[in-house]
Amino acid sequence: MAPRKFFVGGNWKMNGDKKSLGELIHTLNGAKLSADTEVVCGAPSIYLDFARQKLDAKIGVAAQNCYKVPKGAFTGEISPAMIKDIGAAWVILGHSERRHVFGESDELIGQKVAHALAEGLGVIACIGEKLDEREAGITEKVVFEQTKAIADNVKDWSKVVLAYEPVWAIGTGKTATPQQVLVSLKMEQGSVTGANCKELASQHDVDGFLVGGASLKPEFVDIINAKH
C-alpha cells in the first residue's frame, strides 16, 4: 500500500464569521502549499457551504460532527448526506469536546463512523486521554477502548485518519512530546504551533497534525509546510 500523504487538518471549532474566515481562506488560497501534504479545514456547520465555495479545490473541507443516520427528527444535527450535498468530503468525529462537553459515548462515535464511511465521507477520528486518566495510569486502556469502538466500524482504512489528541495538552500550551504520541497512532494534536511544527513533523512516527487554534492564523501555512 502506498504511504499516506502527510495530513494536516485545521479544526476551526466554534470560531469565525464570514469576514474573518474569508480573510483566512484568502490567505490559504494565495499561499504556496506543499503538494505532498493533504490539507482539510473543519468549518462550523453553518459555514461549510461558504468554506467549500471559497476554498481552493485542492483544500478539503470537513464538518466538525455529524449524526449516525441520513435524515429525520434530530433537531440541530447534520447528516453525511448533507455534508456531501454541499461538496464537503470529510467529517471530524469523536473530538474530545464532543466526548467530554457533549457526552458522546464510544458506542455513539463508532456508529457515526460507520454511517459516515458508508455514505462515502472521509473520517478524521479522534482519540485521547484526559489528564486525570493519564495520571491514573489508564491511558492505554482509555485509548484502546476508544480506538476499538472506531476500528470495529472500519472496513477501509484508506478513508480514515486517526488523530491522537492528548486532551490534557489542548489549549494549555503544553504539547505532547513526540515520545508521548503513541507510536501506533501516528497523528498528533496538542498545541501544534508554527514554532514547534517542524520538530514534531520530523518525527518518524508522526504523519500529520490536527490543529486547533493555530489553524485560524496565518501560521497555519507554516504548519502545512512543516515537512518541507
Ramachandran category for residue 16: left, alpha or beta (phi over 0 → left; psi -120 to 50 → alpha): left
Which is nearest to 99 in space by CA: 141, 132, 146? 146
Catalytic residues: 95, 165
Which is nearest to 66 in space by CA: 17, 121, 14? 121
Which is nearest to 7 in space by CA: 44, 32, 36, 48? 36
| pLDDT at residue 96 in the model | 93
Residue 221 parent element (H or E)? helix 220-224
| pLDDT at residue 174 in the model | 64
Say what the pTM is.
0.90
Instruction: Kindly give the residue spans of alpha helices, DSSP state H, lying in 86-137.
Output: 96-100, 106-118, 131-135
Residue 91's beta-bridge partner residues? 63, 123
| pLDDT at residue 185 in the model | 45
106-138 pLDDT, tens digit per residue, is 999 999 999 999 999 999 999 999 989 989 999
| pLDDT at residue 186 in the model | 43
The residue ranges of every structural domain in the chain are 8-14+60-224
| pLDDT at residue 194 in the model | 81
Give the fold, CATH level 3, of 8-14+60-224. TIM Barrel (3.20.20)
Mean pLDDT by runs of 10 across the 228 residues of the chain is 80 98 98 95 98 98 98 98 98 96 97 98 95 91 95 94 84 61 46 81 83 92 88
